[in-house]
A and B are shown apart, each in its own frame.
Chain A
Amino acid sequence: MSAEVCIVAGAGSAETTTLAGPLAATGYAVALVSDQPTDLHSEENITSVPCKFDTRAGVDLAFDQAVARCGAPQLLVLSMIPASLMRPGDIDEVPGELWTETLQAAALGTLYALQACHRLLRGTGGTIVLVGPALSLVGASGLSTLSTLLEAQRALAKSAARQWGRLGIRVHWIAPGCAGNYGELNAASIPVGPELGPPPPALGRVPGNTDIAPLIAFLGSSGASALTGSTLVADGGNWMVP
Chain B
Amino acid sequence: MNRSLPVLEGRTAIVTGAGSGIGRGLARSLAAAGCRVIVAVRRQSTGEETAALIGAEGGISLVVQCDVTQEGDVVRAVEQGVRQFGGLDIVVHNANAADSAHPLALEAVTAENFRTQSRVTWDGAFWLARASLPYLKKSAAGRFILLGSAFGLHGASFNPVYASLKGGYRGLSKALAREWGKYGITVNAIQPAAATEPTEIFFNQFPEVRDAYMKNFPMGRMGRPREDIGGAVVALCSDDCGFITAQSIQVDGGLYTAM
Which A positions have Cβ atoms within 8 angstroms of B?
Answer: 56, 90-92, 94, 96, 99-100, 103-104, 107-108, 111, 114-115, 118-119, 136, 138-144, 146-164, 191, 229, 242
Contacts and interface: CB of A to CB of B under 8 A. Distances in A.
A136 B174 CA distance: 8
B259 A158 contact: no
A141 B179 contact: yes
Given A140-B178, A162-B157, A155 B130 contact: no
Given A99-B126, A111-B114, A151 B133 contact: no
Contact of B106 (A114, A147, A153, A191): A114
Nearest to A229: B155
Looking at B118, B129, B175, which has the most chain A CB atoms within 10 Å of its CB? B175
Nearest to B174: A139
Interface residues of B, number: 45
A224 to B, nearest CB: 18
Nearest to A160: B106
Given A99-B123, A100-B123, A100-B126, A158 B163 contact: yes
A157 B165 CA distance: 12
A70 B56 CA distance: 69
Given A104-B114, A159-B164, A163-B160, 16 more contacts: A104-B118, A111-B114, A115-B106, A115-B109, A136-B174, A139-B175, A144-B176, A147-B174, A148-B172, A151-B168, A152-B171, A155-B163, A156-B167, A159-B151, A163-B105, A191-B178
Interface in B104-154: 105-107, 109-111, 114-115, 118, 122-123, 126, 129-130, 133, 151-154
B163 A159 contact: yes
Contacts of A90: 179
- State the main secondary structure of chain B at its contact with A: helix
Nearest to A158: B155
Interface string B48-74: 000000000000000000000001000
Nearest to A142: B179
B126 A163 contact: no
B250 interface: no
A115 B107 contact: yes
Nearest to B105: A163
Contact of B164 (A119, A152, A163): A152
A153 B173 CA distance: 16
B28 interface: no
B156 interface: yes
Contacts of A107: 114, 118, 164, 168
A89 to B, nearest CB: 10
27 contacts: A91-B179, A100-B126, A104-B115, A107-B164, A108-B114, A115-B107, A139-B171, A139-B174, A139-B175, A139-B177, A140-B175, A142-B175, A143-B175, A144-B129, A144-B175, A148-B168, A151-B152, A152-B167, A152-B168, A155-B153, A158-B163, A159-B151, A161-B155, A163-B157, A163-B158, A163-B160, A191-B178
Contact of A138 (B129, B163, B174): B174
B147 to A, nearest CB: 15
Contacts of B171: 136, 139, 144, 146-152
A151 B157 CA distance: 17
B95 interface: no
